[in-house]
Structure 1
Amino acid sequence: MKMLSSSSSSTIPLFVSVFIILCSTEALVKLPDNETVPALIVFGDSIVDPGNNNHLVSVAKCNFPPYGRDFSGGIPTGRFSNGKIPSDFIAEELGIKELVPAYLDPALQPSDLLTGVSFASGASGYDSLTPKISELYGLGARRIGVFSAPPLGCLPSQISIAGGIQRECVEKYNEASKLFNTKLSSGLDSLKTNFPLAKFVYIDIYNPLLDVIQNPQKSGFEVVNKGCCGTGLIEVAVLCNQFDPFICNDVTKYVFWDSYHPTERVYKMLIAGIIQEYVESFL
């Protein structure tokens, strides 16, 4: 589960981070004239981890090639992708800043904290929703967006385990995702009574990602059930490395970068649609 929030303000704190305008960025999405998004604070797992795990004792690391091969300078930052991740695109779309830094990055500056950071950590577990929301609310968060679970049965790693010889999405895993999402959405609705001054927004990523997987030709994708890295069947983290001879040449044809994480291109496309659909829910 990825939880994104920001502290209260007269402007609109939304669900990712903010940079203290060290570089000028313009919002790609249209906001009302009197509204701005000052900061983006991110919590979650490897989908939105920009490199916190680099500084933790963990086997879930990706601060080595070929991770980051399409990032600026081809640098492996610790993002579980070939390039940018969702939090980066959200911040950029909202005109906050280009990248959301890791909270544990030794190079983090005080100015970064004013515009937002990511506390996300790859392979982090699931915590009970209500206590965490209560804590965030107590710290001043008033606009909180929560991502749904993706179609887990369509991850290449899960297809390798239970997708059969045809490598199809595992329906029972997708059903589990849908059940979780139903309960998550209901849980957020119940929180609105306890925290009337806050806005909680359930953000569906299940259906948009599933649509890309089921209808790849609409967006120019060709490979949906394997990752670009290695054989694409099981490779992730240390198994996806520069010594693997099977890394794909054209990542733009792939929905998934490794056996768990989508490509930068998929993230960019999904976030653009999500921002357009949900931004007014936070106003």
Structure 2
Amino acid sequence: MTSETKPWLMLLLLAATCLQHCVHGWPQVPCLFIFGDSSSDPGNNNNLAVSSRVNYPPYGVDFPKGVTGRYNNGKTTIDQIGELLGLTDFIPAYADYQTPFTNRQATDVYFGVNYASAGGGLDDFTGSSLGKIFSLTDQINQHKSIYFQIAAALKSEEQAKEHLEKCLYYLDLGTNDYVINYFDTNFYNTSQIYTPEEWALHLFDRYYEHLTELHKFSARKFALSGLGFLGCRPHQRNSKGECDKNINDALTLFNNELPGLVNILNANYPDSQFMYVNYPAIQTSVFDDFINDAGCCVADAFFGLCVVDSIIA
């Protein structure tokens, strides 16, 4: 469980996102669609037969709606970005919408849907050790179903396209491709097949394919987040309290190359806008005095998740 992110940090994040492309600040958008992992998951894993779900306290102890399945004590980063964009409510989880889809629900999802699933990644095999979670491929397929159901509710695919082209598509993935894939040698042999450089290139190939698929379904405004320093999380540190250098070095490689992918996408899709969120730079500059060598709850030894109703004062 991470500590609640402050609003001023979100302003920094938004400013960093807009450095390349926004002249007059972050444009207000009518809708927000979210693709990600535990950093953004609002509860999509709650009803899955997986070990990666947190629909119990102390998760959500500071969240306005209580326990939802968010991997946080309060609001997630994307929750606060939505507020700063002027959205009137938190973007609903895809799991909130069950078939058959109704016209009333179609009105709700005009403002966006959160497809993020804890354990999911850019590579389809990532997180498979946890059970059946939703990879980015799965999340995009879920978005396709929403796309067609909105078009059906409007009785016009053209109107659906016109609306969806104005939305922001926020993607925050890649973490699990390292922690629950590349560096998990007990379950995966990925590190025996790829060098860190080759693995990063593989992930970028998959990212490009995923974004190309989203573009086919009227996505035009994208924000791609860099990865935080996962090797310094309490669960990743060694017995001496030192960060895992191998993980951080691999993530730095990914982060250093991600802006290049953004530039390629902008060049290849001139009708769209791809933006890079330099989250690692924000994390470094803001959290100089942040305590990250100890958890805020009693954690289990295997996944590092909080034990039920455990808070460390």
TM-score when scaled to structure 2?
A: 0.60
1:59-138 equivalence runs, <5 A: 59-72=51-64, 75-106=66-97, 109-127=105-123, 128-138=206-216
Aligned to 2:230: 152
Change in 2 beyond 3 A, CA 1:232/1:104: closer
What is the CA distance between 1:236 and its match in structure 2?
3.6
What is the CA distance between 1:32 and its match in structure 2?
6.0
Q: Deviations for 1:167-207, whole angstroms, at most 9, x for unmatched residues?
A: 13233322111101122221221122221111111111112
Q: Does 1:40 align with 2:32?
A: yes
- More off after superposition, 192-201 vs 168-177: 168-177
Change in 2 beyond 3 A, CA 1:129/1:103: same
Q: Deviations for 1:131-167, whole angstroms, at most 9, x for unmatched residues?
A: 11111111111110100111121111111xxx341x1
Letter of the 1:81 counterpart: N
Aligned to 1:51: 43
Residue ranges of structure 1 left out of the alignment (5+ in a row): 1-14, 16-30, 250-283
Aligned to 2:163: none
Retained in 2: the 8 A contact 1:55–1:105? Answer: no
Aligned to 1:177: 251
Aligned to 2:167: none
Letter of the 2:233 counterpart: L
Aligned to 1:229: 297
Q: Deviations for 1:29-79, whole angstroms, at most 9, x for unmatched residues?
A: xx969x631010000101001011113222111001111111125x21000
CA RMSD in angstroms comes to 2.5
- Count of aligned pairs: 204
Letter of the 1:226 counterpart: A
Q: Deviations for 1:227-247, whole angstroms, at most 9, x for unmatched residues?
A: 10116986644x5312x4xx2
Residue 186 (structure 1) aligned to one of 250, 254, 260: 260
Aligned to 1:203: 277
SS of the residue 2:252 aligns to: helix
SS of the residue 1:67 aligns to: coil
TM-score when scaled to structure 1?
A: 0.66
Letter of the 2:120 counterpart: S
Residue ranges of structure 2 left out of the alignment (5+ in a row): 1-13, 15-22, 99-103, 124-205
Retained in 2: the 8 A contact 1:156–1:232? Answer: no
CA distance in 1, matches of 2:28, 2:262: 24
CA distance in 2, matches of 1:36, 1:183: 28
Change in 2 beyond 3 A, CA 1:234/1:57: closer
SS of the residue 2:46 aligns to: helix
Retained in 2: the 8 A contact 1:226–1:233? Answer: no
After superposing on structure 2, the runs of 4+ consecutive aligned residues of structure 1 that deviate more than 4 Å are 231-235
Change in 2 beyond 3 A, CA 1:168/1:234: farther
What is the CA distance between 1:81 and its match in structure 2?
0.4
CA distance in 1, matches of 2:261, 2:122: 15
Letter of the 2:112 counterpart: G
* Identical-pair percentage: 35
Q: Deviations for 1:77-120, whole angstroms, at most 9, x for unmatched residues?
A: 00010011112101101101231210111489322210011011
